[in-house]
Homo-oligomer: A and B are copies of this chain.
Amino acid sequence: MIDDLEISNALLPVGFCDVLPSDAETEARGLQKMMNIFANYGYDRVNPPLLEFEQSLLAHAGKGIAEQTFRIMDPETRYMMGLRADITPQIARIAATRLINSPRPLRLSYAGLCIWVKGARHSAARQILQTGIELIGIDNAQADAEVILVTAQALQALGIQAFSFDLMMPQLVQAIIGPENFTSAQLGALMRALDRKDVAAVKYYGGDYSDILTAMLQAAGPADQAIGALRKLDFPAEAQRLFERLLASVKAVRNQDPDIELTIDPVEFRGWDYHTGLCISVYADGISGEVGRGGRYLSNNQEPACGLTLRPDILLQRAERPLSKSRVFVPYDCHRIEELSKLHEEGYVTLMSCAVEGDPEEEAHHLNCQYIYKKGKLFPL
């Protein structure tokens, strides 16, 4: 337990923090750069609220995040509200209600905070900054690719050059094994083995599918190599269809940006509960765990959709920091405020003296200024 004395000081709940100067500025500017990229590609920004009724917040795609969602009673209606743990389900709601009549495909972007009940595996953070895009109303490989291509542009805008997209098709395994061929105990053991990527256990529990599943496990890796290995396998019809769609999505990305690093993990399925096609995890060099995730799903009106959510709070550890501006101390001498606008346009930050008396140079040093402003001119300190 934490004692009262400690709590009354600067202690914040685990997973929450104060973002201090320079980091807060880096975050705001980075977010703005990403949102500009999204806007350039026609993704229009929407801002859903932090709280809404749990009945809408946790419906459809929101179901998966119910355990991570704090609830609060609305004193007006006595209905429970949820503090959002994910923005994507809100975007799906908006697309299916307020923007139901907007032309399709509908391109939406968002940026905002989410709160989680518990931290995740790679980070204790419970306040999460999300930004992302949703492409709603179209289901084809080019749409899958667009989401990846635009996200790659956003990462580059942050100055992040080394990143990769890991592509998955969670339905692929089920389409191969035909779950009806196993008892539920066998199926459970097999799925756990696949999840752990335990080749020996997959061989043991895989029955007639041991060979193909093992080959798929071993095919995981860079896209071209994985595709080469997967092409040799004899998939049943539905699995072949899923594989070909994966191929088409990879090809569509390559056509427009051959330099994007793509990997394929053909047996991954865990954590992709409401997804209906291609799933995507985003990784950046030097950052452990995902920096983004998304994929194809059905939006609230059963509309096909594909989206990707990035975590700028994590990414910005690696993002370019804005150059800090030179600081100009402006002594108290009844200058007009509009004089300073010119200095701002030239890229300076001005600190106006609040002291009528005292030594201006000393105060300027104290406030880490590089220049002092006197009679309309800058003097270096």
Contact-residue size bin, chain A (C-beta under 8 Å from the other chain): 35 or more
**B residues near A25, Cβ cutoff 8 Å:** 39, 44-45
User: Do A35 and B28 touch across chains, with their CB atoms under 8 A apart?
Assistant: yes
Binds B, one of A74-82, A163-171, A196-204: A74-82
Other-chain residue from B14, B77, B142 in contact with A2 (beta carbon distance below 8 A)? B77
- Also in contact, A79 and B16, with CB within 8 A (given A9-B56, A11-B56, A55-B7): no
A47 interfacial by beta-carbon distance below 8 Å: yes
Other-chain residue from B27, B51, B108, B140 in contact with A16 (beta carbon distance below 8 A)? B51
A161 interfacial by beta-carbon distance below 8 Å: no
- Also in contact, A18 and B56, with CB within 8 A (given A75-B117, A117-B75): no
Nearest-CB distance from A7 to chain B (Å)? 5
Rounded to whole angstroms, the CA-CA distance of A190 and B347 in the bound complex is: 53
A337 interfacial by beta-carbon distance below 8 Å: yes
A379 interfacial by beta-carbon distance below 8 Å: no
Which A329-357 residues have C-beta < 8 A from chain B? 332, 334-338, 340-341, 344, 349-356
User: Do A127 and B51 touch across chains, with their CB atoms under 8 A apart?
Assistant: yes
Rounded to whole angstroms, the CA-CA distance of A8 and B21 in the bound complex is: 42
Rounded to whole angstroms, the CA-CA distance of A367 and B75 in the bound complex is: 42
User: Do B47 and A50 touch across chains, with their CB atoms under 8 A apart?
Assistant: no
User: Do A93 and B10 touch across chains, with their CB atoms under 8 A apart?
Assistant: yes
A143 interfacial by beta-carbon distance below 8 Å: yes
User: Do A352 and B53 touch across chains, with their CB atoms under 8 A apart?
Assistant: no
User: Do B97 and A344 touch across chains, with their CB atoms under 8 A apart?
Assistant: no
User: Do B98 and A332 touch across chains, with their CB atoms under 8 A apart?
Assistant: no
Nearest-CB distance from A120 to chain B (Å)? 14
Other-chain residue from B42, B46, B366 in contact with A349 (beta carbon distance below 8 A)? B42
Binds B, one of A99-107, A180-188, A237-245, A280-288: A99-107
| Closest 5 A/B residue pairs (Cβ) | A21-B44, A10-B97, A19-B47, A16-B49, A42-B351
| 7 more CB-based (< 8 A) A-B contacts, given A13-B53, A142-B352 | A2-B79, A13-B51, A28-B32, A40-B340, A41-B340, A75-B118, A142-B356
Contacts A/B (CB < 8 Å), 21 sampled = A7-B53, A8-B59, A12-B49, A12-B52, A16-B49, A18-B47, A19-B46, A19-B48, A24-B46, A25-B39, A28-B45, A39-B349, A41-B340, A41-B351, A41-B352, A103-B367, A142-B354, A142-B356, A143-B354, A146-B352, A255-B334
Binding site for B on A (CB under 8 A): 1-2, 4, 7-14, 16-22, 24-25, 27-28, 32, 35, 39-42, 44-53, 55-56, 59, 70, 72, 74-77, 79, 81, 83, 90, 93-94, 97-99, 103, 105, 107-108, 111, 113, 115, 117-118, 126-127, 135, 138, 140, 142-143, 146, 149, 152-153, 255-257, 327, 332, 334-338, 340-341, 344, 349-356, 366-368
